[in-house]
Amino acid sequence: MNAWSRVVAVAIAGSLSALVAGASANAAEITVVASGGPLPDVMGTLVPMFEKATGNKVKITFKGGPAIAADVKQGAADLVVTNTEVVDALAKAGDVVADGKTLLMISKVGVAVKAGAPKPDISTPDKLKAALLAAKTVGYSQGASGQHFLTVIEKLGIADAVKGKAVIAQGRPVGAAIASGEAEIGVQQVAELRPVAGTEVIGEMPAELQKQIPYSAGIVAKGKDAQTARALVSFLRSEPALDVLKRKGMDLP
């Protein structure tokens, strides 16, 4: 076990009694439905930590918006983790319990290049504009960050120029196109860019052009085990979990 693993283990052990005091004495199993984007990597790290610390089991699946809503409405999940606006809408409809919403993390949009490549200055809108115009190819997605990027290049007055050399990542992260050399520079959520080997995040989008994407958890009204679902939410707000979120490029609420 390396030093980091020992620190995490000690931290979890030290804080867990408070987190799961209300949970069942016997191990439980809950179902979680979550959206894609950065969540498969983030939750894929945090869920095993929770399972190891509590003995509980978590079955988690990652789906698109309509499938998430269907699972929640049918009570096919105990907890939903997705964009805050979706959780808010589910709560308004009564599908998430009134006191069951928790803001977990805030994702920002960043810019990356291939590891070892020159890093252009993107610290201001004008410098980002120059970097995008200078690049031979520009990668982005069709998700939340990609849709936001389209508004950014419109605002910068370079939409036609960028679209003419676009590499639109479908079914894979933008970082994969950057690492392979298909895209010289790319834009996506920082927490999606960071895990991809062969890429280097050079910074966040300038503040004037930034989009914050909040993710929340919601206790499903028709879920079978709200108690263990709440224990998982508490764990996701614990110090060990917050440390993981920071390392993965998430901002904390």
pLDDT tens per residue, range 50-60? 999 999 999 99
37 is a domain residue: yes
CATH number of the domain at 71, please.
Answer: 3.40.190.10
Is residue 18 over pLDDT 70? no
For the ranges 16-25, 70-79, 173-182, 222-231, the lowest mean pLDDT is seen at: 16-25
Surface-to-core class of residue 85, CB atoms within 10 Å of its CB (0-12 exposed, 13-18 middle, 19+ buried): exposed
**101 and 131 belong to one structural domain:** no
Instruction: Give Cα 126 to chain centroid, integer Å.
Output: 28
Determine the pLDDT at residue 103.
98
**37 and 67 belong to one structural domain:** yes
Strands 185-189, 96-114: parallel, antiparallel or unpaired by DSSP?
Answer: antiparallel
**205 and 157 belong to one structural domain:** yes
CA distance 50 to 218: 17
Strands 212-220, 96-114: parallel, antiparallel or unpaired by DSSP?
Answer: antiparallel
224 is a domain residue: yes
Q: Which amino acid is at 242?
A: L
**25 and 147 belong to one structural domain:** no
